[in-house]
């Protein structure tokens, strides 16, 4: 059925015998006298349900593919084959399903006889695929797992499990740094699919996203041996569904007749996009060319901007102020001990400092920053913005930077048109209109 199968049958047999032995994987790793020896089948103990015998390429080992033969390695159960092809593509093949389940999408050579491709497991934790053209003095990196820990270690290996998962494993940390199943990738010419019961796992194995038989696509967090759902497409009871990572960057759940769910992130022109599941449990659609994030499943809610201080001294809406009616476009948060307290980002986004110059504390008639005194805006990825006014101090070094929800951005003050220390907090919708923050946040 598969031409690689017969060729290495003897190697697999002897390795399978080894797998039943008691040799520790680390002992085998250090034993690699020859290049081929670096790939060993060992019985590896893993503490989770993925425990399997694995193929191991140890830190600082490399494998070559050149000329007329491709390098191949098998999972211990022989179902999955990893091939470094003579054209420079690293490819994982499921022999039972007769299909490619993952590949590096490199394959740079048209004439293999003039190239040598090298797969290197660096001891900083990065797996690198490089190309050395026959007449060139230099090697070129053509793909890598971006999993460098920055430090050298001998306890890192590349493994291929009986479930068809290729991963870079850090033994000391007992953590996977990269996994072929943490992402699916489409090229500009093809869409890629996740069908029923296929799943993505985060590199650290704490999250997995599975295309369920009931038509629901669900991200689970694995805690104490239990799978706790943390996000889903709310499309259960729709059998026969599959999830497509489209070449236009749109992630679509389709059952052959109807679109059950979509990320609505279609872009043109067509390009290669990646769907990945991170260690934070978030699914992301990433444009391959510049690694830009197009969509993220972790939709945050707004949170209270002054932790521990929940008193509202003036609400949203019309009020009598400075001897006239005016519309108060946000809420004022104030109490006797709020002066100088941390103000935090209500939601992740990009910080834009608006005004840093106002020396008028309690400057009832001061017009600095349009009356807001020292103030900032945070622009959120969904088009909404939040405003934080009358600040005493601002973390000006964060101007133009991405801040995460809960990050401190300044302290409560009384700059601008203000009668005492308070935070004036506003939420504006994607159309730029102010809305009542109390519809979104609570102390």
Residue 2 vs 326, nearer CB to Zn ion: 326
Backbone angles phi, psi at 394, to 5 degrees: -130, 140
Q: C-beta of 330: minimal distance to Zn ion in Å?
A: 5
Q: C-beta of 406: minimal distance to Zn ion in Å?
A: 22
**Residue closest to Zn ion, measured at CB:** 368
Q: Count the residues in the chain.
A: 443
CB 422 within 8 A of CB 332: yes
Does residue number 391 form part of the binding site for Zn ion (CB under 5 A)?
no
Q: C-beta of 435: minimal distance to Zn ion in Å?
A: 14
Q: C-beta of 364: minimal distance to Zn ion in Å?
A: 10
CB 45 within 8 A of CB 51: yes
Alpha-carbon span 31 to 391, nearest angstrom: 62
CB 134 within 8 A of CB 150: no
Q: C-beta of 106: minimal distance to Zn ion in Å?
A: 56
Q: C-beta of 321: minimal distance to Zn ion in Å?
A: 9
Does residue number 358 form part of the binding site for Zn ion (CB under 5 A)?
yes
Of 81-89, 140-148, 363-371, 377-385, the window that binds Zn ion (rule: CB under 5 A) is 363-371
Cα–Cα distances in angstroms (integers) from residue 333 to residues 311, 342, 425, 428, in the given order:
6, 12, 8, 17
Secondary structure class of 95 (helix, strand, coil): coil
Please list every residue from 244 through 263 that binds Zn ion, using CB under 5 A: none
Residue 191 vs 314, nearer CB to Zn ion: 314
Q: Determine the size of the site formed for Zn ion (CB under 5 A).
A: 7
**Beta strand residue intervals within 23-79, DSSP E:** 39-43, 53-58, 61-66, 71-74
Binding mask 104-123 for Zn ion (x = CB under 5 A): --------------------
**Of residues 274, 249, 247, the one with CA closest to residue 188:** 247
Instruction: Specify the residue for token string 């807001």.
Output: 372
Residue 165 vs 332, nearer CB to Zn ion: 332
Residue 203 vs 330, nearer CB to Zn ion: 330
**DSSP-assigned beta bridge partners for residue 252:** 244, 262
Does residue number 288 form part of the binding site for Zn ion (CB under 5 A)?
no
Alpha-carbon span 11 to 44, nearest angstrom: 19
Of 33-41, 94-102, 288-296, 353-361, the window that binds Zn ion (rule: CB under 5 A) is 353-361
Does residue number 368 form part of the binding site for Zn ion (CB under 5 A)?
yes
Residue 52 vs 332, nearer CB to Zn ion: 332
Q: C-beta of 338: minimal distance to Zn ion in Å?
A: 13
CB 153 within 8 A of CB 168: no
According to CB under 5 A, which one of 79, 173, 360, 402 is a site residue for Zn ion?
Answer: 360
According to CB under 5 A, which one of 52, 165, 332, 426 is a site residue for Zn ion?
Answer: 332
Residue 200 vs 391, nearer CB to Zn ion: 391
Alpha-carbon span 280 to 296, nearest angstrom: 11
Q: C-beta of 363: minimal distance to Zn ion in Å?
A: 5
Alpha-carbon span 80 to 95, nearest angstrom: 6
Q: C-beta of 431: minimal distance to Zn ion in Å?
A: 21
Alpha-carbon span 177 to 156, nearest angstrom: 9
The full DSSP string for 127-167 is: EEEEEEETT-SS-EEEEE-----SS--S-EEEEEETTS-EE
Q: C-beta of 345: minimal distance to Zn ion in Å?
A: 19
Secondary structure class of 286 (helix, strand, coil): strand
According to CB under 5 A, which one of 366, 378, 403, 441 is a site residue for Zn ion?
Answer: 366
CB atoms within 10 A of CB 440: 15
Of 97-105, 289-297, 301-309, 332-340, the window that binds Zn ion (rule: CB under 5 A) is 332-340
Peptide bond into 269 cis (omega under 30): yes
Binding mask 398-437 for Zn ion (x = CB under 5 A): --------------------------x-------------
CB 108 within 8 A of CB 87: yes
Instruction: Specify the residue for token string 């020396």.
Output: 359
Residue 222 vs 360, nearer CB to Zn ion: 360
Of 8-16, 161-169, 266-274, 330-338, the window that binds Zn ion (rule: CB under 5 A) is 330-338
Query: For binding to Zn ion (CB under 5 A), which residues are involved?
Result: 332, 358, 360, 363, 366, 368, 424
């Amino acid at each position: 059925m598969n031409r690689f199968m017969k060729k290495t049958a003897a190697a697999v047999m002897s390795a399978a015998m080894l797998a039943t032995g008691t040799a520790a994987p680390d002992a085998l790793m250090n034993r690699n006298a020859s290049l081929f020896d670096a790939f060993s089948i060992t019985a590896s103990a893993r503490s989770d349900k993925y425990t399997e015998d694995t193929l191991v390429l140890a830190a600082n080992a490399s494998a070559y593919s050149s000329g007329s033969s491709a390098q191949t390695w098998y999972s211990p159960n022989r179902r999955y084959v990893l091939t470094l092809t003579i054209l420079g593509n690293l490819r994982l093949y499921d022999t039972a399903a007769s299909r490619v389940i993952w590949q590096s999408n490199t394959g740079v050579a048209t004439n293999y006889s003039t190239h040598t491709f090298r797969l290197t497991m660096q001891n900083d934790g990065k797996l690198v695929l490089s190309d050395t053209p026959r007449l060139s003095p230099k090697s070129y990196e053509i793909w890598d797992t971006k999993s460098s820990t920055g430090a050298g270690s001998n306890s890192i290996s590349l493994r291929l499990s009986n479930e068809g998962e290729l991963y870079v494993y850090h033994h000391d940390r007992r953590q996977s740094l990269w996994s072929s199943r943490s992402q699916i990738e489409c090229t500009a010419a093809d869409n890629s699919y996740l069908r029923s019961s296929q799943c993505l796992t985060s590199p650290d194995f704490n999250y997995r996203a599975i295309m369920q038989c009931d038509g629901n696509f669900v991200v689970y967090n694995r805690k104490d041996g239990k799978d706790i759902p943390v996000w889903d497409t709310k499309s259960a009871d729709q059998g026969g569904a599959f999830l497509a990572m489209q070449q236009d960057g749109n992630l679509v759940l389709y059952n052959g007749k109807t679109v059950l769910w979509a990320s609505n992130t279609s872009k043109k022109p067509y390009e290669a996009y990646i769907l990945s599941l991170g260690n934070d449990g978030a699914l992301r659609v990433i444009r391959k060319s510049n690694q830009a994030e197009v969509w993220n499943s972790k939709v945050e809610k707004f949170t209270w901007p002054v932790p521990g201080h929940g008193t509202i001294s003036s609400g949203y809406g019309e009020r009598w102020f400075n001897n006239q009616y005016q519309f108060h476009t946000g809420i004022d948060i104030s109490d006797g001990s709020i002066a100088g307290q941390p103000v935090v980002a209500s939601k992740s986004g990009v910080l834009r400092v608006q005004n840093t110059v106002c020396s008028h504390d309690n400057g009832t008639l001061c017009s600095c920053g349009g009356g807001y005194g020292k103030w900032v805006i945070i622009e959120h990825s969904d088009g909404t913005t939040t405003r934080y006014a009358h600040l005493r101090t601002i973390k000006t070094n964060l101007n133009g930077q991405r801040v995460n929800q809960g990050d401190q951005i300044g302290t409560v003050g009384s700059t601008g048109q203000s009668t005492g220390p308070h935070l004036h907090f506003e939420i504006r919708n994607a159309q730029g209109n102010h809305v009542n923050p109390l519809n979104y946040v609570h102390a």
